[in-house]
Structure 1
Amino acid sequence: MVSPSTLSSLQLVYPSDFRLTDKEKSSICYLSFPDSHSGCLGDTQFSFRMRQCGGQRSPWHTNDGHYDRGAPVALQRESAHYFGFVHFRQVKDSSVKRGYFQKSLVLLSRLPFVRLFQALLSLIAPEYFDKLAPCLEAVCNEIDQWPAPKPGQTLNLPVMGVVVQVRVPSRVDRSEASPLKQCDQESLLPAPVVLTSVHELDLFRCFQPVLAHVQTLWELMLLGEPLVVLAPSPDVSSEMVLALTSCLQPLKFCCDFRPYFTIHDSEFKEFTTRTQAPPNVVLGVTNPFFIKTLQHWPHVLRVGEPKMSGDLPKQVKLKKPSRLKTLDTKPGLYTSYTAHLHRDKALLKRLLKGVQKRRPSDAQSALLRRHLLELTQSFIIPLEHYMASLMPLQKSITPWKSPPQIRPFSQDDFLRGLEHAGPQLTCILKGDWLGLYRRFFKSPHFDGWYRQRRKEMAQKLEALHLEAICEADIETWVKDKSEVEVVDLVLKLREKLVRAQGRQLPVKEATLQRAQLYIRTVIGSLPKDLQAVLCPP
């Protein structure tokens, strides 16, 4: 949904049947404009994320579940939040009472496709600011014809006379993205606008001022610690927050995060109260008022204006929270947290050398992204191996008994095994890995990871049980069973079949066909009256 807004009101909403509550409209208006401290002249793009108020009110694609099953966890649809992508324009205009033309074009989505939607707004916004509603209506009609996003596929998306080409990642992708297939266009048509990623930011540009503290920030994100990013403008704020929350890939970021947050937000009191501990949220703010309001927060990252030169910006210093007292606080990471892992000095040297040799920013970003990916994978692999050991052996799964239970996760057992199966097998970094895992167990990210893995294992167990039933001699089993037992088997098989057909169980098509055959065979062994009940005409 695309919606343009002025300083105090929502002028237009497309599609027109999309309903927003008054609370949501108010939030969009405030979140789509830089506050008065930012001084953003010209065109500025930034992002926000806001909580949905009330239940589902609009028809979304019916294949959402299919998309989420194939997409990386970090790119799955949000169920309770909207992402807002903003193109804000402020230019001098003497004909306006304020002396400035100020307007924002906002695109709302449940998908975090930052690169795609920013590129789309860059195409639409200049035209919209000139032609207003007719332009927006035409664009929305074009977007309405776009195919639904499919993980692993390259999409060609026509809009305003050009074709935007982008590939939607799949959860089975390797770390290196698959190359884009070229769009089949006639030679007379302009070449497509090819995006190298649907969502990835220029990670090196975002992290340039904090490179010396990237691993500390990675640990804070891993542990779900409350963090405030105080930036000079919404674009710097939102990019830094999105860069931080992407640090944990392929692990899902399970905490709340707000790339741009204002004092007018409906959750302002909830996030700033001093009567309880700060919530597990990453806040991006620009108003210096937050320095005073959030002094009790354990971690505050203040960043300055981005440098345009080719030199590496001055690195922010690590400072104690007690230094966070005045409104003219200098850039720095204000925290009492001591990192568990030693800094990777080799990585910093490579990145600094890249700056000196004018290495392209995308190459620098690739280096940084690979380092963070390998760091996260090294941390998660021992957890994955231990979790796999809790799965019952396949030979213990028999067709006529309920499948055995997954053994409970024992933190002590896991920690005892770290000496032989820990992250040191895949990561050269030294440090207190044991202490990091202990703190991780108390974080929302462990809870989110464990719930997801246990759910997947339970589904796998159920699928193996269904396969065991389908491979058994069901006709022999039926002979000495009561009608109640046979009917119970039919009902259980049908329930499993419905779940499997809904792709909730990882089973092969051949298994589904055998299950349907077994159901017919079992029903056929019952008296006619029961057959009529189980298979009504």
Structure 2
Amino acid sequence: MNNFGESLFIECCQHQMTIKNSQHQNVDRKLSNMTDGENIVFENELKDNAWDSFHNWLYCVCVVTFDLELGQALESVFPRHVPLSKQEISNICYLAFPDSNSGCMGDTTFIIRLQNSQGKKNLRPEHNIYNSKCPTALQVDGAYYWGYVYFRQVKDITLPRGYFQKVNNIPSLLFEFSVALLYCHYFHSITYLVKYVVMSPPEYFDNGEVSLEAVCYNIERWPPPTPGVTLNLPLLGSVFQTYIPLSSNYTANSTLALLSEEGDNKIQTHVEDLNLFEILQPVLSHIHLLWELVIVSEPIVVMASSPTHCSSMVLALTRLISPLQYCGDYRPYFTIHDSEFKQFTSKVQGPPPVILGVTNPFFAKTLHHWPHTIRLSDDLGQTQKYKLKKTAPTKMIDSSSGVFTAYKPFLQKDKNIIKKLLTGVNSKRPFEVQSALLRRHLLELTQSFMIPLERYIASLMPLQKSISPFKAAPTPLPFNPDNLFATLETAGPQLTLNNTGIKGDWDLKDWVQGRPEVEVVDMVLKIKNKITRCNEHDIPVNETTKEQLTHRLNDIVTSLPDDLKNILQIS
């Protein structure tokens, strides 16, 4: 840090501590004039409201260290009053450290996502207002915390195990160290804050916990996240400027144009600046297959040697169907110590609809029954290495990079867009332009899929002239799948599907080939459940559709052994 930056940082800390001491004096003065019962009520209100503005953005900042005797341990939390359950603390401690044998030396940053103990009740009024205005993909999900992790591991032969983590009176037994920011929104721009606070300049390593306290007090003074407004967020002498788009005019690459020019202490950030092309370049030739897997919520595991790589790939996969929000579960970085490890690795009911990013080689064995695997190499720039490998899910996946799946896609590749992007690589076209081209193609692909459904649903809605405050609310027309399918030829924009020549079919006999029995049985049970619901709940599905479902059910059952047929009691 230069002299100006250091003096500015110290001045900021002193100013914040002055405010803090003044607040404490006012509180002490008020408490002295209260009864014991009034004191308890006031202290509880003070605890709840003291960090209201801070919690609009972040939940807390955690410092996690490694002790040779205790293992991962939560050293400190800012603000200090924030409650964390034992399970949350355990998950945070393990997620804050690379779970692999790669030895991530130096500085490593990655994204995590974990369940919180309070669920959707954790949403604040400000978050509800924010959700009503922002794009769907940027909404707050109260059931999860986002986390941005900064991990440092540095060699030092003078210490017992040869590693140095941080200064500031830390015992020599500590050799690994992480700072994790937990927040409710996924704003990629928050990663800039961590890099600025911890990495460039290395505030935390130079100044210790006082720097994190100063950061928390700065964030406490930020305005709430408001879509449609340019936000200036002061932090340690600099100003982070960002713009959260409104849902009505959201485009992934247009919001920076709304910000003012950069100044000496002004840093422009983007709420969604994933370098989509750079991340997806290794699997570019399979982008249409991956889009199809994501939009139907197929379980996918991403294996890499670094949490940085696997977490980036998982996030990029969830953005393939933008502007739709990916509604399945996804964990950009997942470890064997996670509280949901047994649930995700169970072979009894098959893999759930989730995208996992992992680094521990043990997952190659534990998740060998998962139908789709992306294994990333250390050299992510080698696109041609990532071949599609048609392997049975029950077999062990080899150590080479590639996309492993037995899935037969319905969508053909658009060779023109792939050729255009690969030509851009050879001509050294900027990644920002490549990402814009890829985003546009994926957007058109998603629109081609969704617009026919939207138009059909709109045709079921009552006309405006039928709606009156003096009449009962009109009932929409029933949804009929056959009617929807009949409109597909003419209802859609066909933005990217003109040359695919692919149509959906009812042929499940091919689907069964090579599938493990647990997946086949799961499909049988799902179809039986659909037929039962149609009969018992009087769902408006015509008899022809029910007969087709029954015939396809019998087709699947013929592939099962006789003992399973008897157990399932299929006639």
TM range, smaller chain: 0.7 to 0.9
User: What is the deviation of 1:94?
Assistant: 3.0
Structure 1 position 162 matched with structure 2 position 234: no
Q: Is the CA contact 2:121–2:142 (under 8 Å) kept in the aligned structure 1?
A: no
Determine the structure 2 residue equivalent to 1:177.
254
Determine the structure 2 residue equivalent to 1:3.
62
Q: Is the CA contact 1:212–1:315 (under 8 Å) kept in the aligned structure 2?
A: no
The separation in 2 between residues aligned to 1:191 and 1:54, in whole angstroms, is 38
Determine the structure 2 residue equivalent to 1:378.
448
User: What is the deviation of 1:153?
Assistant: 1.8
Determine the structure 2 residue equivalent to 1:281.
354
Q: Is the CA contact 2:444–2:495 (under 8 Å) kept in the aligned structure 1?
A: no
Structure 2 counterpart SS, 1:228? strand
Q: Deviations over 1:238-279 (max 9, x none)?
A: 000000001111111110000000000000000101111110
Q: Is the CA contact 1:38–1:234 (under 8 Å) kept in the aligned structure 2?
A: no
Q: Is the CA contact 2:100–2:361 (under 8 Å) kept in the aligned structure 1?
A: no
Determine the structure 1 residue equivalent to 2:207.
131
Structure 2 counterpart SS, 1:85? strand
Match of 1:64 among 96, 114, 127: 127
Q: 1:426 to 1:318 in 2, by over 3 A?
A: closer
Structure 1 position 88 matched with structure 2 position 151: yes
The separation in 2 between residues aligned to 1:314 and 1:55, in whole angstroms, is 43
User: What is the deviation of 1:313?
Assistant: 3.1
Determine the structure 2 residue equivalent to 1:25.
89
Q: Is the CA contact 1:379–1:423 (under 8 Å) kept in the aligned structure 2?
A: no
Q: Using structure 2 for the length normalisation, give the TM-score.
A: 0.72
Q: CA RMSD in A?
A: 2.3
Determine the structure 2 residue equivalent to 1:53.
117
User: What is the deviation of 1:394?
Assistant: 1.1
Please say which of residues 5-14 and 252-261 is displaced more in the overlay: 5-14
Determine the structure 1 residue equivalent to 2:49.
none
Determine the structure 1 residue equivalent to 2:418.
348
User: What is the deviation of 1:156?
Assistant: 1.2
User: What is the deviation of 1:295?
Assistant: 1.0
Structure 1 position 295 matched with structure 2 position 354: no
Q: Using structure 1 for the length normalisation, give the TM-score.
A: 0.76
Q: Is the CA contact 1:233–1:286 (under 8 Å) kept in the aligned structure 2?
A: yes
User: What is the deviation of 1:377?
Assistant: 1.1
Determine the structure 2 residue equivalent to 1:220.
293
Q: Write the letter of the residue equivalent to 2:187.
A: F
Find runs of 4+ consecutive structure 1 residues off by over 6 angstroms: none
Please say which of residues 161-170 and 21-30 is displaced more in the overlay: 161-170
Q: Write the letter of the residue equivalent to 2:183.
A: S
Structure 2 counterpart SS, 1:12? strand
Structure 2 counterpart SS, 1:321? coil
User: What is the deviation of 1:405?
Assistant: 1.4
Q: 1:214 to 1:15 in 2, by over 3 A?
A: same
Q: Write the letter of the residue equivalent to 1:257.
A: Y
Q: Write the letter of the residue equivalent to 2:180.
A: V
Q: 1:327 to 1:254 in 2, by over 3 A?
A: closer
Q: 1:67 to 1:56 in 2, by over 3 A?
A: closer
Structure 2 counterpart SS, 1:224? coil
Determine the structure 2 residue equivalent to 1:505.
none
Please say which of residues 263-272 and 166-175 is displaced more in the overlay: 166-175
Q: 1:361 to 1:16 in 2, by over 3 A?
A: same
Q: Is the CA contact 2:460–2:478 (under 8 Å) kept in the aligned structure 1?
A: yes
Structure 2: gaps (5+ residues):
1-59, 67-71, 166-175, 512-522, 527-571
Q: 1:192 to 1:318 in 2, by over 3 A?
A: same
Please say which of residues 84-93 and 419-428 is displaced more in the overlay: 419-428
Match of 1:36 among 89, 100, 110: 100
Written as runs of structure 1 = structure 2, the 5 A alignment for 1:452-491 is: none
Please say which of residues 421-430 and 24-33 is displaced more in the overlay: 421-430
Q: Deviations over 1:67-125 (max 9, x none)?
A: 101111111001101111101111112343321122111010110112x1211110111
The separation in 1 between residues aligned to 2:272 and 2:495, in whole angstroms, is 31
Structure 1 position 369 matched with structure 2 position 439: yes
The separation in 1 between residues aligned to 2:314 and 2:111, in whole angstroms, is 10
Q: Write the letter of the residue equivalent to 1:134.
A: V
Residue identity (%) = 47
User: What is the deviation of 1:55?
Assistant: 5.2
Q: 1:87 to 1:170 in 2, by over 3 A?
A: same
Determine the structure 2 residue equivalent to 1:75.
138
User: What is the deviation of 1:17?
Assistant: 1.8
